[in-house]
Amino acid sequence: MLVVDFGAQYAQLIARRVREAQVYSEIVPSSTPVAEIIARRPAAVILSGGPSSVYAEGAPPVDPALFEAGIPVFGMCYGFQAMAQALGGEVAPDGTREYGRTSVHVEASGVLHAGLPAEHPVWMSHGDSVTRAPEGFTVTASTDRVAVAGFEDTERRLAGVQYHPEVGHSPHGQEVLRRFLHEIAGIRPSWTTASIIDETVAAIREQVGDGHAICGLSGGVDSAVAAALVQRAIGDRLTCVFVDHGLLRAGEREQVEKDFVAATGATLHTVDVEARFLAALAGVTDPEEKRKIIGREFIRVFEAATADVIANNGADHPAGHTVDFLVQGTLYPDVVESGGGTGTATIKSHHNVGGLPDDIEFALVEPLRALFKDEVRAVGAQLGLPEVIVARQPFPGPGLGIRIIGAVDKQRLETLRAADAIAREELTLAGLDRSIWQCPVVLLADVRSVGVQGDGRTYGHPVVLRPVSSEDAMTADWTRLPYDVLERISTRITNEVAEVNRVVLDVTSKPPGTIEWE
Ligand code: XMP
């Protein structure tokens, strides 16, 4: 089904909620002509929220032809008002405003709200209101201020609500959405992790044929799941490349070398280039310069490793054979944000991964292109990838190199790696992995402070804990970790990591801070 995005910050959330109801959904911009929407033959259409009212300046209209096409349509918030207006109902430009938690009264025994508590909380965000439902519609909900907060015409399979059913603050919202999809629109719930895997594997087989593919593993969840899917589809015609630049966290290389390979049987080519990276970074303290050096070296190493794999494949396979496909872990939110569709693109590799040999043109295989992050994790788990990979929190490409404030060297990396491992272990033990976005541990390598340990004076470095909560890393808040967890982390780090004698907590949101310190 299609979610028509009227500029709501909630469009992606709506699409995810629809998929949680086991119905595949895609987002299209509201500028999409109705003829195009109809031509795609969606099982249903959702009109998202958007500007606060249909009278707002520049409010995008809804073409009434959409409602003549026999496609089930559900309007939410702005989509609800636009639908009411297009179908001959009445929307009063009266500035009736409701923002935040509001109580709705269930009005009649329609389908959407039947059997729900007669009064229940929902999340509202609108000015103006629908004062008269269009002909043929039953009003199913109201509020103290708004007479028409929900309506439906089950005959024509059209319905809508003034509130935002997709947000967690509308506790019955998912049920209302599910009833629209399954009961009013009559869509069979069939989008499951198993069906995602079957369809994706079939599509990869079709695309790759008897060709060969290469995949750069970062240790992160996206590249691991993408590689696992391709491995399932084409077996040992996939080669994975993993660059160990020495800036990884404790256990990450082992996770890839042992756990990933054990779970997938993939052919893995690890390149051990710690010495090269440390030499390139020696004495560098400027964050941007560090990032540039790490990025540049990474590209060179990946390029050389790829050339190596290609040369070896050339030896192992019929004359003239090369690697034709490059696997990438692009996710659906990236596709939506760049305005792209769900097709696949052929690019010159160096535009994307950077620096791959100029004369090689790879076709991209992007098996996660239609998926949200939570679906990627579910697919990974079903493919047998271990929890440490599937539930992994974001980790920056430049690794620990940008979590040492000051110059990077082997000793400092070992110190930070040890402190980071303790923090991660305690957060995992406390069951907090899924509730925090990530918790960088930062070593202030050029700062020393006086401490006392045993009977002696110490003069060691501080580490900073940076626990954050976020939806998308664009904004973040500092996570209020339980004091006892903070205490365990602090005690263990100062006892077990000799160079660290102080643990401090970063209580800055983003903005003004960024998540990483460099
Ligand atoms: P900032 O520090 O910009 O970080 O608030 C936002 C998110 O992005 C991650 N991050 C990176 N990820 N390469 C990456 O793949 C990078 O160079 C990079 N820098 C930051 C960071 O961990 C956070 O999740």
Q: What number is the ipTM of this complex? A: 0.98
Residues facing 74 on adjacent strands: 46, 159
Q: Tell me phi and psi for residue 152, to 5 degrees.
A: -155, 150
517 Cα to the center of ligand 1, angstroms = 10
Q: Give the pLDDT score at 58.
A: 81
82 and 106 assigned to the same domain: yes
165 Cα to the center of ligand 1, angstroms = 31
Residue bearing the CA closest to ligand 1, atom 7: 473
Report which of 80, 70, 110 is spatially closest to residue 4, judged by C-alpha positions.
80
Q: Give the pLDDT score at 361.
A: 67
119 and 154 assigned to the same domain: yes
| DSSP letter for each residue of 369-406 | TT--HHHHHHHHHHTT--HHHHTPPP--TTGGGGSEES
CA dist., res. 461 & res. 444, Å (int): 6
511, part of any domain: no
Is-contact 404 413, C-beta < 8 A? yes
410 and 385 assigned to the same domain: no
Q: Relative to the CA of 476, which ligand 1 atom is closest?
A: 5
516 Cα to the center of ligand 1, angstroms = 7
CA dist., res. 256 & res. 225, Å (int): 12
168, part of any domain: yes
435 and 349 assigned to the same domain: no
Ligand 1, CB cutoff 6 Å, lining residues: 394, 396-398, 438, 473, 510, 514-516
- At residue 426, what is the residue type? E
Q: CA 216 → CA 222, 235, 303, 361, 364, distances in Å? A: 11, 16, 10, 16, 12
473 and 326 assigned to the same domain: no
The CATH code of the domain that includes 219 is: 3.40.50.620
Residue bearing the CA closest to ligand 1, atom 19: 396
Between helix 373-382 and helix 221-234 the angle, nearest 10°, is 50
Residue bearing the CA closest to ligand 1, atom 21: 396
Annotated binding residues: 218-224
396, part of any domain: no
430 and 287 assigned to the same domain: no
Residue bearing the CA closest to ligand 1, atom 10: 396
**Strand, coil or helix: what is 326?**
strand
Say which residues have a Cβ less than 8 Å from residue 288's Cβ, sequence separation at least 6: none
Question: Could you tell which of 478, 515, 517 is best to mutate to test the pocket of ligand 1, judged by most ligand atoms within 8 Å of the CB?
Answer: 515
Domain boundary among 331, 365, 391: 391
Q: Relative to the CA of 470, which ligand 1 atom is closest?
A: 24
Q: Relative to the CA of 291, which ligand 1 atom is closest?
A: 17
Q: Relative to the CA of 517, which ligand 1 atom is closest?
A: 2
Q: What is the pLDDT along the chain (518 residues), one digit of tens a residue?
A: 999 999 877 899 999 999 999 999 999 999 999 999 999 999 999 999 987 778 888 888 899 999 999 999 999 999 999 999 999 999 998 777 888 889 999 987 799 999 999 999 999 988 889 999 999 999 999 999 999 999 999 999 999 999 999 998 899 999 999 999 999 999 999 999 999 999 999 999 999 999 999 999 988 899 999 999 999 999 999 999 999 999 999 999 999 999 999 999 999 999 999 999 999 999 999 999 999 999 889 888 887 888 887 777 544 544 445 778 989 998 998 888 776 544 434 333 333 344 444 555 678 899 999 999 999 999 999 999 998 899 889 999 899 999 999 999 999 999 999 999 999 999 999 999 988 999 999 999 999 999 998 889 999 999 999 999 998 788 899 999 999 999 999 999 999 999 999 999 999 999 999 999 99
Residue bearing the CA closest to ligand 1, atom 11: 396
402 Cα to the center of ligand 1, angstroms = 10
Report which of 25, 35, 27, 32 is spatially closest to residue 8, judged by C-alpha positions.
27
Instruction: Report the Cα–Cα distance between both ends of the chain, in Å, rounded.
Output: 42
290 and 414 assigned to the same domain: no
49, part of any domain: yes
Question: Could you tell which of 331, 516, 517, 518 is best to mutate to test the pocket of ligand 1, judged by most ligand atoms within 8 Å of the CB?
Answer: 516
162 and 26 assigned to the same domain: yes
Annotated binding residues for ATP: 218-224
233, part of any domain: yes
- How many domains would you assign to the chain? 3
Q: Give the pLDDT score at 350.
A: 35
Q: What is the dihedral of CA 415, 417, 418, 419, to 10 degrees?
A: 90
Q: Give the pLDDT score at 313.
A: 59
Residue bearing the CA closest to ligand 1, atom 16: 396
247 Cα to the center of ligand 1, angstroms = 15
Q: Relative to the CA of 440, which ligand 1 atom is closest?
A: 22
Domain boundary among 184, 207, 223: 184
**Is 77 a known active-site residue?**
yes
The CATH code of the domain that includes 70 is: 3.40.50.880
Element (H, E) at 151: strand 150-153
CA dist., res. 70 & res. 219, Å (int): 47
Residue with tokens 């693109």: 345
Question: From the candidates 126, 164, 172, 212, which is the catalytic residue?
Answer: 164
Neighbours of 500 (CB within 10 A): 25
358 and 419 assigned to the same domain: no
CA dist., res. 254 & res. 20, Å (int): 33
Residues facing 75 on adjacent strands: 47, 160
Tell me the pLDDT tens digit for each residue of 342-372.
443 433 333 334 444 455 567 889 999 999 9
Report which of 316, 413, 3 is spatially closest to residue 180, judged by C-alpha positions.
3
398, part of any domain: no
112, part of any domain: yes
Q: Where are the alpha helices (DSSP H) in 397-477?
A: 410-429
Is-contact 468 436, C-beta < 8 A? yes
Residue bearing the CA closest to ligand 1, atom 20: 396
163 and 237 assigned to the same domain: no
| pTM of the shown model | 0.84
284 and 145 assigned to the same domain: no
Question: From the candidates 107, 152, 166, 375, which is the catalytic residue?
Answer: 166
Element (H, E) at 34: helix 34-39
Domain, as residue range, for 204: 193-391
395 Cα to the center of ligand 1, angstroms = 7
**Is 164 a known active-site residue?**
yes
Q: Relative to the CA of 393, which ligand 1 atom is closest?
A: 24
The CATH code of the domain that includes 425 is: 3.30.300.10
122, part of any domain: yes
Say which residues have a Cβ less than 8 Å from residue 229's Cβ, sequence separation at least 6: 197, 200, 201, 204, 367, 368, 379, 383
Q: Give the pLDDT score at 342.
A: 43
396 Cα to the center of ligand 1, angstroms = 5
Residues facing 90 on adjacent strands: 132
94 and 135 assigned to the same domain: yes
